[in-house]
Amino acid sequence: MTSATLSPLKSTLVRFLPAAAALRAYFAATSRIVPRLAKAQAERLFTLPPRHAHRGAQAPDARRETVTVGRHHLAVWHDGAPDAPAVLLAHGWGGRGAQMAGFVAPLREAGYRVVWFDQPGHGESGAGPVALPDFERTLHALSRTHGPFHGAVGHSLGAAALGLALRRGLCLERVVFLGTPASIRDHLRSFGRQLGLTPRVLDALRAVVERRYGIAFDDIDRIEELARVSTPALFLHDAQDRQVPFANAQRLSRLMPRAHLVRTHGLGHNRILRDRAVLRACADFIATPDAVPPPDLPQLPLPAPLF
């Protein structure tokens, strides 16, 4: 994943450059003088989600439940007829389930029961260190408690978790990926550059996270396994996404045999979750087996004819 997608430093680094420079100088020095301390502090930053500043409004008829997944107690909401086919919405790093609220009404109107939640360590699902494997385990757990799911829509790290879960046996009829990062190793390298970590400290950080979760970064990054996933997939990604570059979606969508790639314009990494054309395209793709989405949203005008 790219650094901006996963890093809890993102907003601070971008908005407060003097503080970011001081933090980088601190870690650059500590990495060389006290590497063990630098590793411990960097691990905390790598795995502690930022708290989302805005609660957002849940759907008015949403029903809230709590689902326990390991050490996490997840806040889960659902809306729609209990016997309707279900669609799962998964937000990204540092977000909230309420960020996905725009998808609820069009999916419910299309006849689906919609399920969304706060990821482990986010919002009403508690606090503490988490990582991509926690996100993936949550998807499998919710499939057991609130599924089976006809489809799913994921954003950023939530979308990356969907891709990993599909590779590891999650069954879906349709899937939508929004602003999806492609590599956790790429993220780690960018994270290390942001903090000025030495290669030695960065490698130690990778090793401790791998031990904690029992999965190697290289195994997470085996995205070539998506070639075996036959689920129809829709990738929507903004051409100007500064947090997760558009190339990530190109790379991932080329691997999936039944994937469509839609490039959006002017929506960035987060506004894509509120755009009406995007919301409608996602609902149509989930609901319509033969839906063929346009290559661009908004659709680009044809050049004026020359006479």
DSSP assignments along 173-231, one per residue: SEEEEES----HHHHHHHHHHHHT--HHHHHHHHHHHHHHHT--HHHHT-GGGGGG--S
Between 263 and 61, the more confident residue is 263
Cα dihedral across residues 225, 144, 180, 266: positive or negative: positive
User: Per-residue pLDDT averaged across 37-61, rounded?
Assistant: 80
User: Per-residue pLDDT averaged across 199-223, rounded?
Assistant: 94
1 SS3 class: coil
User: Per-residue pLDDT averaged across 142-154, rounded?
Assistant: 97
pLDDT at position 22, please?
84
Whole-number mean pLDDT of the chain? 89
pLDDT at position 15, please?
44
59-182+223-297 topology per CATH: Rossmann fold (3.40.50)
Taking a C-beta distance cutoff of 8 angstroms, is the pair 269, 244 a contact? yes
Give the pLDDT band (50/70/90) at residue 301.
low
Between CA 88 and CA 76 the distance in angstroms is 10
pLDDT at position 300, please?
62
pLDDT tens figures, 82-107: 999 999 999 999 999 999 999 999 99
pLDDT at position 61, please?
79
Taking a C-beta distance cutoff of 8 angstroms, is the pair 115, 86 a contact? yes
Is pLDDT above 60 for 13? no
User: Per-residue pLDDT averaged across 218-247, rounded?
Assistant: 96
Between CA 253 and CA 236 the distance in angstroms is 10
Say which residues have a Cβ less than 8 Å from residue 80's Cβ, sequence separation at least 6.
Answer: 86, 107, 108, 112, 113, 114
Between 210 and 292, the more confident residue is 210
User: Per-residue pLDDT averaged across 56-73, rounded?
Assistant: 84
Domain(s) labelled CATH 3.40.50.1820 in the chain stretch across 59-182+223-297
Give the pLDDT band (50/70/90) at residue 62.
confident
DSSP assignments along 280-298, one per residue: HHHHHHHH-TT----SEES
38: β partners: none
Is pLDDT above 70 for 159? yes
The single residue listed with the structure tokens 């030695």 is: 200
Give the pLDDT band (50/70/90) at residue 18.
low
Say which residues have a Cβ less than 8 Å from residue 291's Cβ, sequence separation at least 6.
Answer: 284, 285
* Count of C-beta atoms within a 10 Å radius of residue 287: 19
Give the pLDDT band (50/70/90) at residue 137.
very high
Report the DSSP pairing between strands 113-117 and 149-155.
unpaired
